[in-house]
Structure 1
Amino acid sequence: MANKTISDLLADFELRHAQKSYANERRRVRSKIIQGIEEEKRALLLKKLECAFLQGEARACDKELAALEQREQEALRAEGIAEEYDCPACRDTGVIGGKYCNCFLYEVYRLVYGAVDLKTLTESFDTFDRSVFDDKLPQKSGKTQRQMMELYRKICEDYIGVFPKTVKQNILLRGKAGLGKTYLLNCMAKEAHKKGIDVCLMRSAALFDVFFKHRMGEEVPLEFLRNVQLLLIDDLGTEPVTQNVSTEYLFDLLNRRLEAGLHTVVATNIDDLQKRYDERISSRLEAKQACATLFFDGEDLRLK
């Protein structure tokens, strides 16, 4: 559930790093070879400090330290004492080079915003089953439902494949329920996560719940949603309308992301977005220059 704050998560990561570091150190202490190398490193560091005070040449010490580091890594591998962290990139600190690691952002989306846990998704482009779509009755586009879905699958897969250098900045998936919009959205989220892209998949109800909490003064910062590389919003239009929240917060989010050149994919059952929200929002969701619109039509798969 989305009941954590950013402060909570930072504390969680600090504790996680400390626990994993302690466990790693315990394994190292039990190795006489590693302890010997550590003694050599301490002696070299002392020698380097003396060189600094005496204005001596310290480059030789640096080379020896680098060689010792290499020896230590080889010894660790040989003895099977690899460092164990959930995220080797940030060593469970949640930060790399002064920026939040994707592992930390993933927890923010899931535990602070109530976003979908992408690790639980079963849909993927690899398991796409074209046979469930009708291939006999032409739709308004002149294509059968199967032909449309094969085309849309390729568009969505290519979008993630070349991300962030996409042909269009955003994608809008629109059409009635049960036609495969959520399936493709889940496929995109799953593939993006697998590729290491900073991605957040929000169901509309959860997104507007975040907006409402922020409006009420709760500790729910919006900058993470504004700055995520790829934001996917499912079922837009199914959320309850809240005065001074629905339109203003959604417009602000979409507008900031559009101006920042960040990518947003939205799935909706709403035919008239301008009537549901207003012209500002519909123009940003339907802008032809920045957005590719995929119209879904055909038989509701949930009724089959």
Structure 2
Amino acid sequence: MKYVVTGGVGFIGSNLVDRLLKNKHQVIVIDNLESHESRNRLESSELSHWKHNKNLKILFDDISNMKDYKLFEGASTMFHFAALPEVQLSIKKPLKYHNANVNGTIKMLDACVQSKIKRFIFSSSSAVYGDAQNLPTKEESSLNPKSPYALHKIIGEKYCKLFECHYGLETFSLRYFNVYGKRQPMSGLYCTVIGKFINQIIKNLPLTINGNGEQRRDFVCVKDVIEANMICSSIKHIKENVINIGSGVNHSINELASLLNSSYPTINKPAAFEPYETLADIYKATNLIDWTPKTELKTWINGYKEELGL
């Protein structure tokens, strides 16, 4: 089979590309390498196993500017990860983020139609819920975007539905909660809180916590996120195709810091503009696409600490 992966050098995208190549599929990756992390990932030994793989072709291009989709022909599914993901920066640079996240998504939906790609899997986000009124949060819950980034994800989901209706494109919109795991950014604009804490521990720095640290997050491992994408690429299409991808369990930031290293000092900074608590209702994921998260946060952290000798 042949697949297209936008943002395929990024944190989640590169993990999916690994899985597809392992299964001997042909993969077309599109990435503009805008993020420092993606450039480092490609230039270091981290992705050296990609270099001589005949089933992989990488296009260093911006999805918003692409005009030629010939390489997409024959692909069955496009996995759309490409986006500018930083919530706070989307507030500072709404036009730049709109062009990348909204116009880029429309371009790729149109590319699927032109190239006769049957299925489009959109990487959405739990950010669409804002401060959720009900926990665990169901997909039918009120959407309350608190940033341009969150609004862009809602618009992307709506465009997926429109392209289903008017062009017959099969789509899934997967609302990821807080993703962690292999190749997570450890520093920079797009770093995850787990990546940031690990980086600070390695450098013997105190852990910086926004607010009082009692805000809670649903953390889901990237391996489980990849499995959800793989399932959605192969199962029969369903109408209820906007699906939460979370663990169904949440932890406070203070608990996370303690799991990583309870003896490390912490520094509390002013609270960021973010929801206080996230928790996914994963009933649809488990019952409609037969997906269940298999990685527990504590187990992953203990394994990673052992690997690093922490």
Q: TM-score, normalised by structure 2?
A: 0.26
Larger radius of gyration: 1
Q: More relative contact order in 1 or in 2 (CA 8 Å, sep 6+)?
A: 1
More helix per residue: 1 or 2?
1
More strand per residue: 1 or 2?
2
